[in-house]
Structure 1
Amino acid sequence: MKLVPNLCRQRLAEGGLALGFGVHHLRGSAVGMIGQAAGFDWLFIDMEHGAMSVDDASRIAIAALGQGITPIVRVCKDALFEGTRCLDNGAMGIVVPHVDTAEEAEAVVRAYRFPPTGDRSWGAPPFAYGMAPVNAAQAQAELNADILVVCMIETPQAVANAEAIAAVPGVDVLMFGTSDLTATMGIPGQIGHPDVRAAYATVGAACAAHGKVMGMGGVYDEKVAPDYIALGARFILGGSDHAFLMAGATQRAGFLRGLAPKRA
């Protein structure tokens, strides 16, 4: 049985933008189909801020494997063990928030890569192979090469350590959590601030130097986002389910209200 292709990784390898669809409130097997139909490349299944269990995340991820979109799960920094369960049950990548040092990045890699790169445990044949029997050695090597490991940059300390974090073998993406970065900088919400722009430039240079990809989350302003993409951001969180729903529903309600007959 062949490994389900990591379409997000393929998009990045081609030099393109990999667009993420944030999943906070949606549940069930249709989530990936919705994201793929809307033009996204990967699901950002959020267990840090979404009220979601491993079971919820895994159901979405397993369905997404056959829907042409890559399921990636964000876990809490102090719950790395939940990420290994998600990887065993459909996820093709893990995002870890608040990674501030190379040592923390190394711990993330150990959790999510099989030996000799890491310490991830081998369980039953994973969903990434359609549950078919596999050669363990071959499958572990293939998964080590295909799973995306993403460390989030959310503090000035992380920006200062970007070069060391990017140098850690097994880390694929350094992704900005721009909202939290502005908060820790003392400029909450100012995503276009010169200090934030400087941080993107610093991390972008570190990623370029070590063959890693820079990611962008928390930037949905159509004036600022192009600037950070120009600095090298390619793993892009495009928005979240509730924001998409609110935008579409608000536009539709406004249109229909505008058709109401005028009263004399």
Structure 2
Amino acid sequence: MIPSSFVLFCLGLAAQASAACTREMLQDAAAAYIKAQGAGLPTSPMPAVANNISYAENDKIMDIKTGVLNQAITIDFNRSLYDTTQCATFTELVSASNKPPYVIHTRMLFTADQITTIQSVVTTDGDWAFNATGQLYWNKQETWSTIPESKRDTRAVIQAAGDAYLDSWGDGTVKVPYGTPCARLEGGSYTAGKGSTANTCKMPQFPQPFKITNRRYVVDEEVGGVDIFNDFPFIDKVKPNGTSSTNVVRVEGGMIRYIHEVTKCSTKNCGR
């Protein structure tokens, strides 16, 4: 089951989505998702258009009526990416004033005239470096405005920058296009130096080589953004082969400007 107004909206998308996956359609879809999450609307029987929806939280397939989407959450901040090539959206939600607080990253995929996939990484107290108040504060300080068309990077350049950052965790020889300045928001912790030449995004190589697997992308050339859903190994002692994580990267002129990370933990602070 899915919130009724969200289902009705999905039905309304049918004619438009079947013709083309436009930015406007994706913007409307993300707005409907944000509204549904904020209201925690009552569920209703799943109509035929939603039969193929696959819903997952923290890489676990589940019935949507038991998930976080069926809870009314106070949303203090949101940001979305729109991928018209892949017909997908990414939405970052921060709820610092809710009890419990949440930071939720969600990607939605469209096929023809329906939303076929909703995947979320849902983090709260006890997850890696979690601090929704910090997330809210620092998110509001950043600029993710539209990049003039003549200065936009290609989706290949944007995705490659995000991939290089993840690759560098397990291989210190990988060259990452860090910008100056560059700032990283991990959980609620912000690493940002002072001044235009500050670069505090570089990550040390982890104790043992590893690869970040199960990467899933949403790329938005207009804002230079890429979100990468992935399985982050090493960090969670209970799940050393990988735990649910996402990294959102803003690329400007081929260089990384911002990085956001949220990671789900099996035990408090991933046992560290």
Max radius of gyration: which structure?
1
Q: Which has the higher strand share?
A: 2
- For the aligned pair, the TM-score class normalised by the smaller chain equals under 0.3
Q: Which has the higher helix share?
A: 1
TM-score, scaled to structure 2: 0.24
